[in-house]
């Protein structure tokens, strides 16, 4: 067992020097002498380090982060532009008797707000991935908000479908298609929920790896 950090460094050096001998011995069916065999402490620590590195994964590249943030900015600007148009239309454009335009415009504004909330949360998650802190409990609140925003967007879309249904009596297929789109939006929320469950498992494993590392540090 490793008594201190110096012993660990010594074992690591011996292990590195023994790698060519170990490969040659394995080809001939021989075993390494005891002085060149890694201790259980060394093997245990290496396994923990390997596990934690596999959990962290590769850092997201700067180009990928910039491209994703550019897309988020464009979409956010587009939603803000649509909101401005809807507000202007509510204030200036008179009501049409054939369609309830004012409720539809107000619902559109609310729908764009839900999209904006989701975009801001995705921005925060991308920042956490870039910093390597996404495997933490702090990420759950952003994922939960994204799920809530998607569900809200689906409900808004269903409201638009209901308001638009009376005007589509001659062509009910449009209403059916719009309802299918709402179900698809809810499906996206379910997918994000599954990803949240995977994130929870990853965080639990990372916490377990940190606990094992702390126990090993106490032994060393």
pLDDT 10s digits, 84-109: 998 888 878 766 655 667 788 888 89
Q: What is the mean pLDDT of residues 178-189?
A: 92
My answer on whether 202 and 184 are in the same domain is: yes
Check residue 184 and give its pLDDT. 94
Domain that holds residue 192: 62-212
Of 92, 90, 91, which is closest to residue 102 (Cα–Cα)? Answer: 90
Residues 19 and 46 sit within 8 Å (Cβ to Cβ): no
Distance CA 158, CA 180 (A): 10
Tell me, yes or no, whether 11 lies in a domain.
yes
Using the predicted structure, report yes or no on whether residue 58 has a pLDDT greater than 80: no
Residues 118 and 150 sit within 8 Å (Cβ to Cβ): yes
Using the predicted structure, report yes or no on whether residue 6 has a pLDDT greater than 60: no
Q: Which of 37, 57, 77 is the last residue of a domain?
A: 57
Integer CA distances (angstroms), 63 to 76, 130, 185, in order: 20, 11, 29
My answer on whether 89 and 142 are in the same domain is: yes
Domain count, the chain: 2
Tell me, yes or no, whether 217 lies in a domain.
no
My answer on whether 47 and 118 are in the same domain is: no
My answer on whether 135 and 194 are in the same domain is: yes
Tell me, yes or no, whether 181 lies in a domain.
yes
Using the predicted structure, report yes or no on whether residue 49 has a pLDDT greater than 50: yes
Check residue 46 and give its pLDDT. 53
Query: What's this model's pTM, rounded to 2 decimal places?
Result: 0.66
Distance CA 105, CA 86 (A): 6
Of 58, 81, 70, 66, which is closest to residue 134 (Cα–Cα)? Answer: 58
Distance CA 16, CA 206 (A): 27
Computed on alpha carbons and rounded to an integer, the radius of gyration of the chain in Å comes to: 28
Tell me, yes or no, whether 120 lies in a domain.
yes
My answer on whether 40 and 91 are in the same domain is: no
Give the confidence band of 47 by pLDDT, cuts at 50, 70, 90.
Answer: low
My answer on whether 188 and 81 are in the same domain is: yes
My answer on whether 166 and 208 are in the same domain is: yes
Tell me, yes or no, whether 219 lies in a domain.
no
Check residue 103 and give its pLDDT. 82
Tell me, yes or no, whether 218 lies in a domain.
no
My answer on whether 22 and 92 are in the same domain is: no
My answer on whether 14 and 122 are in the same domain is: no
């Amino acid at each position: 067992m490793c008594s201190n950090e110096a012993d660990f460094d010594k074992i690591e050096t011996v292990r590195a020097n023994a790698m060519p001998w170990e490969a040659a011995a394995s080809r001939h069916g021989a075993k390494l002498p005891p002085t060149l065999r890694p201790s259980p402490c060394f093997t245990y620590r290496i396994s923990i380090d390997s596990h934690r590195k596999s959990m962290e994964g590769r850092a997201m590249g700067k180009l990928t982060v910039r491209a994703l943030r550019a897309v988020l900015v464009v979409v956010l600007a587009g939603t803000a532009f649509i909101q401005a148009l809807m507000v202007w239309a509510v204030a200036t454009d008179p009501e049409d008797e054939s369609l309830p335009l004012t409720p539809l415009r107000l619902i559109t504004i609310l729908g764009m707000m839900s999209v904006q909330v989701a975009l801001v949360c995705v921005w925060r998650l991308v920042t956490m991935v870039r910093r390597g802190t996404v495997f933490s409990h702090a990420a759950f609140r952003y994922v939960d908000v994204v799920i809530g925003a998607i569900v809200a967007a689906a409900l808004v879309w269903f409201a638009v479908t209901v308001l638009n249904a009376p005007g589509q009596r001659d062509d009910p297929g449009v209403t059916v298609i719009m309802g299918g789109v709402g179900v698809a939006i809810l499906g996206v929320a379910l997918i994000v929920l599954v990803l949240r469950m995977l994130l929870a498992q990853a965080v639990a494993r990372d916490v377990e790896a940190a606990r094992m590392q702390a126990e090993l540090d106490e032994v060393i």
